[in-house]
Structure 1
Amino acid sequence: MTAIPMPNERPERRPGVNWEKWGWIYMRASGVVLVVLIFGHLFVNLVAGEGVKAIDFAFVAGKLADPFWVVWDTLLLWLALIHGANGMRTLVNDYATNPTIRRILLGAILVSTIVLLTLGTLVIYTFDPCPAGSPADLLPSFCPVNQ
């Protein structure tokens, strides 16, 4: 026979990590950081300088040549993707009532998040606007071959 908890009593706590609590905390903390990262990104890309008409291959290449912007874009990518994936996970847990469909959807979210994080990070860290051995007529004007 189980005892009925009194109104002032706390329910018994299960051992282990409370993933829902940490997911909730992550959403709040990453949301605050993302606001700063996104508005900084928008300001530099759209307001400072010549505005949207200045965004081209050379602009992106120049940004990705600076370690500050590499870290900035990496943080933006990772925080935004994990933030979005955690939000989708919450929606699936709230609305997918069939356990098999829930597992499939959660697996799809996990796989797509890992693939996008991997590809995005590779692009940020391996971007080379002037690859060696490329024909000079295909390279941008700022590459040393054309100068």
Structure 2
Amino acid sequence: MALAQGSAPALEAPRSRRTRTGNGELWGWLFMRLSGVVLVVLVFGHLFVNLMTGDGISQIDFAFVAGKWASPFWQVWDMLMLWLALLHGGNGIRTIINDYSERQRTRLWLLGALYVGVAVTLLVGTLTITTFDPCIDPASTLSVCQ
């Protein structure tokens, strides 16, 4: 096939059947970078407090968590770490699904499963942190703080 001088073959745009509008991918990319930096601080702070202070890993039990979550600071810290980690990971998996799933139907099912999984985990984790009762004895479900 001979091409006229100065002309190049027409290239099809990648994934032209699926168009995106707006800056959604830009915001997703930016979120991944910023949340990654914040997560490094949150995770290393979490590990330092839980493992390096006191008796190390042997101190982590129900009473340790109850004492830690008695402070609103640690509730917010752990909640922020939970939300950022799940949203950061979910956004990464969303990108992988969009890049590697070829069929539209498969992509929709995978994204739906991802969104449901992230939402349920966020809900259960948030409820666990916000409704945690340190006065419950984990062995008998009796209140011990009367």
- Give the TM-score band, short-chain normalised: 0.7 to 0.9
- CA deviation after TM superposition for structure 1 residue 98, in Å: 0.6
SS in 2 for 1:49: coil
RMSD: 2.3
Counterpart position of 1:9: none
Consecutive unaligned residues in structure 2, runs of 5 or more: 1-6, 8-18
Distance 2:111 2:60 in 1: 36
Mapped contact 2:70–2:134 kept (Cα < 8 A) = no
Q: 2:144 is matched with which residue?
A: 143
**Alpha-carbon shift at residue 130 of structure 1 (Å):** 1.6
Match in the other structure for 1:49: 54
Shift of 1:126: 0.1
Structure 1 residues not aligned, in runs of 5+? 5-13
Among 22, 25, 28, the residue aligned to 1:20: 25
SS in 2 for 1:28: helix
Which has the larger helix fraction?
Answer: 1
**Runs of at least 4 residues off by over 6 Å:** none
Q: TM-score, normalised by structure 1?
A: 0.80
Q: Give, in whole Å, the separation in 2 of the partners of 1:23 and 1:15.
A: 13
Partner of 1:29: 34
Cα distance in 2, alignment partners of residues 57 and 38 from structure 1 = 20
Query: TM-score when scaled to structure 2?
Result: 0.81
Preserved contact between residue 130 and residue 139 of structure 1 (Cα < 8 Å): no
> In the TM superposition, what whole-angstrom CA distance separates every residue of 1:76-128 from its partner, at most 9, and x where no partner exists?
00000000000000000010001100000001111111111011000000000
Partner of 2:135: 130
